[in-house]
Amino acid sequence: MATSLGIDSHPHSVLQTDYGDEIVRVGVIGYGYWGPNIVRNFHAQDRSRVVAVCDKSCKSLQRVRQAHPEIPVTQECRDLLEATDIDLVAIVTPVWTHYELAKAALENGKHVFVEKPITCTTAQAEDLIELAERKRLKIMVDHTFLFTGAVRRIRQLIDDGTLGELYYYDSTRVNLGLFQHDVNVIWDLAPHDLSIMDYLIKEKPEAVVATGERHLNGVADVAFLTLYYPNNMIGHINVNWLSPVKVRTTLIGGEKKMLVWNDLEADEKIKIYDKGVEMSGGDVYKLLVSYRSGDMWSPRVEQVEALKLEAAYFVECIVNNKQPFNDGAAGLHVVRMLEAADHSLQQKGKIVQL
């Protein structure tokens, strides 16, 4: 039976801003490491309020009460999934729980904001997309990096032709931990790069090769992915939970310019190098190789918190009935690449077509 969480005395109450605009009422499931960021950002928007938080753990709920005493909490996710006074459910729980929770939210008429990766399998993601379409509801997957100033700036530099035709995308995303129990390092860290690559690169990859090894808890903790694109474009991702240092550096090589994105830099996150190689001359033995070594510059990168923009964007999509670009289909493509990477990993780097 549908219930009200007591956000207002009337179960179908509509919250409004001072200007009479409707406010999207958000319920958040999961208040572990990442959940507090989701609660804080949806709660601070003009057009949304977090009206309930659910976590199985009493300790997590205690943290919610301390940070947001005004928000009702519950340990029972059905309270939130079936509440009549919630429009959007944000799912910030471990990956293996995403499908069941998102499905229940959609079945109960709620829009869904779900953490990356959307689900554990492509079949589950397809199921959610179909259900959302049938119910005319929206799914948005939290591919947070797509809302960072750095990624949005790189997208501009690719779209306006500054880098020229792309040769490669090469990312290193390594640190010590955090060890996950339910997924390997590919499913934990590579969704960031895979979603960024999908966003930046117009073509889709045709095949993937993954190698890696497990050392401590039975799942791969060090892995290397290679993605083959049309036109000789190649992608490479190095993910590792056993690195002594944290590295978040991506090289993007283009025909005209080359770019280094160091996400750990406070300023000058992106550096563009006017460097390249040109070949001229006849056959392979008479080739003239000339190296171009021009200026380096660092474009300005907007510093607004990515989740703030992302939460505002999803609320706007709901209010204006627009499809978000990081929707269920975008999440599904990332899971397709992750599944293919797992198949390749199990066969010690066999090439898997996408």
Ligand X SMILES: NC(=O)c1ccc[n+]([C@@H]2O[C@H](COP(=O)([O-])OP(=O)(O)OC[C@H]3O[C@@H](n4cnc5c(N)ncnc54)[C@H](O)[C@@H]3O)[C@@H](O)[C@H]2O)c1
Which residue among 45, 48, 93, 326 contacts ligand X (CB under 6 A)?
93
Q: Residue 116: helix, strand or coil by DSSP?
A: coil
Torsion over CA: 212, 215, 217, 221 (sign): negative
Q: How many CB atoms lie within 10 A of CB 293?
A: 9
E-only strand ranges, 55-118: 73-74, 88-91, 111-115
Q: Judged by CB under 6 A, does residue 97 bind ligand X? A: yes
CA 319 to chain centroid, in Å, comes to 22
Binding segment for ligand X (CB under 6 A), chosen from 12-20, 53-61, 146-154, 311-319, is 53-61
Binding segment for ligand X (CB under 6 A), chosen from 91-99, 276-284, 322-330, 332-340, is 91-99
Binding segment for ligand X (CB under 6 A), chosen from 89-97, 212-220, 229-237, 324-332, is 89-97
Do the Cβ atoms of 354 and 204 come closer than 8 Å? Answer: yes
- Nearest distance in Å: CB 81, ligand X: 10
Taking the least distance from each CB to ligand X, the nearer of 48 and 148 is 148
Which residue among 40, 56, 155, 271 contacts ligand X (CB under 6 A)?
56
Taking the least distance from each CB to ligand X, the nearer of 93 and 122 is 93
Q: Residue 293: helix, strand or coil by DSSP?
A: strand
- Nearest distance in Å: CB 36, ligand X: 9
The two three-digit tokens of residue 129, written as one number: 């997309």
Which residue among 77, 106, 163, 340 contacts ligand X (CB under 6 A)?
77
Binding segment for ligand X (CB under 6 A), chosen from 92-100, 209-217, 241-249, 326-334, is 92-100
Taking the least distance from each CB to ligand X, the nearer of 166 and 190 is 190
- Residues in 116-155 that interact with ligand X by CB under 6 A: 116, 142, 144
Cα 344 from Cα 26, distance rounded (Å): 39
- Nearest distance in Å: CB 34, ligand X: 4
The two three-digit tokens of residue 40, written as one number: 């804080």
Measuring CA to CA, which residue among 296, 298, 280 is closest to residue 288?
A: 280
CA 271 to chain centroid, in Å, comes to 23
Residue nearest to ligand X (CB): 32
Q: Judged by CB under 6 A, does residue 92 bind ligand X? A: yes
Taking the least distance from each CB to ligand X, the nearer of 31 and 99 is 31
Q: Judged by CB under 6 A, does residue 318 bind ligand X? A: no
Which residue among 41, 48, 60, 184 contacts ligand X (CB under 6 A)?
60
The two three-digit tokens of residue 223, written as one number: 């892995």
Cα 162 from Cα 252, distance rounded (Å): 12
Q: Which strand ranges, in their side-by-side order, compose the sheet holding 220-228? A: 288-297, 270-280, 258-262, 242-254, 166-176, 234-240, 220-228, 207-214, 352-353
Count residues near ligand X (CB under 6 A).
22
Measuring CA to CA, which residue among 209, 41, 198, 51 is closest to residue 117?
A: 198
DSSP assignment letter at 327:
B
- Residues in 1-40 that interact with ligand X by CB under 6 A: 29-35
Residues engaged in binding ligand X (CB under 6 A):
29-35, 54-57, 60, 77, 92-95, 97, 115-116, 142, 144
